[in-house]
Structure 1
Amino acid sequence: MDRGETYTFQIEESEREGQRLDALLSAFMEETSRSYIQKLIASGNVRVNGKDESSKKYKARRGDVIELFLPEARELPAEPQDLPLNIVYEDDDLVVVDKAKGMVVHPAPGNPDGTLVNALLYHCGNLSSINGVIRPGIVHRIDKDTSGLLMAAKNDFTHSGLAKQLEAHSITRAYQAVTLYNIKEERGTVNAPIGRDPKNRLRRAVTEQGGKRAVTHYRVLKRFGGAYTHIEARLETGRTHQIRVHMAHIHHPLLGDPLYGPRKTAFGAEGQVLHAWLLGFIHPRTGEYMEFKSPLPQEFQSILNKLEAKYE
């Protein structure tokens, strides 16, 4: 297997010790299937401390330096697939969907189908071409284990208009999340640049080195003892993993976050408890402001119910 981009990271957090190599890499490579990670390990595309490691069962140790060689992705066109889609709004120019947790937005290495793009191609027929054949129609994205509202463009005119609004930070994007620990202030703003973590290229981090401006506004919705806080977070900018990175930066990582939070989770959280509940933008064709809301998914609400039962 040809070696393409190299990702290097070091095991520094004590909670990562003892974790299996395939599980560890799967947590970091969120949009890559675990079976593909196992294939990479078996085929000699992973090194630990400078030596090839072909066992998926290798247990991580503190101080380990792990290198992952990810083969270059082939730009194969995404194929239409008849998959479940929750359409919130649709016209001749765009579609707004309520993405389920666990669904990847677009094809990625080791995850060539079963994505939102595959489903949209089947449902819509045609999407904008600006972002290429494996990301058609995708103006912005949300993480695999983040649920909620996402817009996609059916043509290049609409795509360009929505992209300009994203660049101008004029699109309304609000999320709900559960963080660890008690956030004392009622509201706040994190204004800190985000870029690739210089110590771990599989993650993002607050960093001046190559970091881009990132601003997140948050407010407390409810506190649960001194242990957890239910918040709303509004994006002024839209960097990769922005809310997850910013909340971890102020020592309030999201509950269940496998990448930026503690390894141990609670209340049945599988993946970060984060939901894109509000999306607003100006329709590029009509000039009309449109706003959509998504109720909390059952899993999120169940966690809130458990928190209320424990701390009320």
Structure 2
Amino acid sequence: MKELTIECNESPARIDAWLAVRLEGFSRSFVQKLCQDGNIRVNGEQVKSNYKLKTGDKITAYIPEAQVLQVAAEEIPLDIVYEDEHLIVINKPKGMVVHPAAGNYTGTLVNALMKHCGDSLSDINGVIRPGIVHRIDKDTSGLLVVAKNNHAHEFLSKKLKTHDIKREYIALVEGIIYENNGKIDAPIGRHPVERKKMSVNTKSGRNAVTHFKVLERFPSATYLELKLETGRTHQIRVHMAYINHPVIGDQIYGRKKQRFDTGGQVLHAKRLTFEHPATGELMEFETPVPGYFTRLAAELSGNGQ
């Protein structure tokens, strides 16, 4: 445990931004995690990451020793769409968890990346999520970008926060949506009762915007293209359920009794666009529609359900 004490003698600023500049080698997200864990104190008191510093404040940061990564590298096939020394773009299959968590310490994308990349992954997100800039749910398939070094990670994380990484999805949803295009603007936060779920929450939710476009209509379902303006947990799934068109196969936000055996929500991250952190080049990637998706679309089109 390393202890640092600094006195603030400047104009007011958020403590996470202020410390990220002064603690060499530590990102703002790392400082926010320190605050969350109670390792940042101002004048002896624990503070949140949005605390506004005042002249004369004494800041003490307790920086824990780096943990040895306990997650095992595993020989798991990866569908690599693109790779260079800075980043890697993966087409994640349906059913794969992105990073280890309770109940899923093996077989994850991180386990596979550790085998493929060795030590070439950023460590900003700690021992469990090396390289992981953004996630997609276990039963959502498709594209995500992974950072191989801290510079790439910080750059991509910043672009994600400013909505400069474009993510486009396709989904099959219940019911017929008659509007050709639409925008869902509804804040998302933790469900007030079921804490493992998210919900539209006007009191404590965070701004969330999803745009959709109808690609095809079936007798009792709609094929959509969706674009995220924000990136809240389960955003598409929550928003579609909110307008009474849940994603087909969604075991959490959809029908209690599903019509099809889909193995989870029929949702695919089809297109990903971002600026390369080293070259500034605009990178655009697109994957084919996966087989499980096209099979269900054909069934919906042909059986009249």
Superposition TM-score tier, normalisation by shorter sequence? 0.7 to 0.9
Q: Does 1:178 align with 2:151?
A: no
Residue-by-residue CA offset, 1:41-84 (whole Å, 9 max, x unaligned): xxxxxxxxxxxxxxxxxxxxxxxxxxxxxxxxx99532211101
Q: Does 1:238 align with 2:231?
A: yes
Q: Secondary structure at the match of 1:200?
A: coil
Residue-by-residue CA offset, 1:135-188 (whole Å, 9 max, x unaligned): 000000000000000100000000011001101101110000000001110010
Q: How far apart, in 1, do the equivalents of 2:225 and 2:77 lie?
A: 28
TM-aligned CA deviation for residue 268 of structure 1? 3.0
After TM superposition, list the pairs within 5 Å mapping 1:83-102 onto structure 2: 83-102=76-95
After TM superposition, list the pairs within 5 Å mapping 1:14-29 onto structure 2: none
TM-aligned CA deviation for residue 210 of structure 1? 2.2
Q: Does 1:131 align with 2:125?
A: yes
Q: How far apart, in 2, do the equivalents of 1:294 and 1:169 lie?
A: 21
Structure-2 residue corresponding to 1:301 = 294
TM-aligned CA deviation for residue 213 of structure 1? 0.8
- Which residue of 232, 235, 244 corresponds with 1:251? 244
- Which residue of 267, 273, 291 corresponds with 2:266? 273
Paired residue type of 1:188? G
Q: Secondary structure at the match of 1:201?
A: coil
Q: Secondary structure at the match of 1:178?
A: strand
After TM superposition, list the pairs within 5 Å mapping 1:116-195 onto structure 2: 116-125=109-118, 126-195=120-189
Q: Structure 1 stretches (4+) deviating beyond 4 angstroms?
A: none
TM-score normalised by structure 2 residue count: 0.76
Q: Secondary structure at the match of 1:175?
A: strand
Greater RCO (CA < 8 Å, at least 6 residues apart): 1
After TM superposition, list the pairs within 5 Å mapping 1:47-58 onto structure 2: none
Paired residue type of 2:204? G
Q: How far apart, in 2, do the equivalents of 1:140 and 1:230 lie?
A: 25
Aligned residue pair count:
238
- Which residue of 189, 201, 211 corresponds with 1:207? 201
Q: How far apart, in 2, do the equivalents of 1:288 and 1:233 lie?
A: 24
Alignment check: 8 A CA contact 1:267 1:306 kept: no
Structure-1 residue corresponding to 2:212 = 218
Gaps of 5+ in 2: 1-66
Q: How far apart, in 2, do the equivalents of 1:76 and 1:264 lie?
A: 41
Residue-by-residue CA offset, 1:103-149 (whole Å, 9 max, x unaligned): 00000011111100010111011200110010000000000000000
Q: Please, what is the CA RMSD of the aligned residues?
A: 1.4
Larger radius of gyration: 2
Residue-by-residue CA offset, 1:201-232 (whole Å, 9 max, x unaligned): 0100000232111110000000002x100001
Q: Secondary structure at the match of 1:123?
A: helix
Paired residue type of 2:134? H
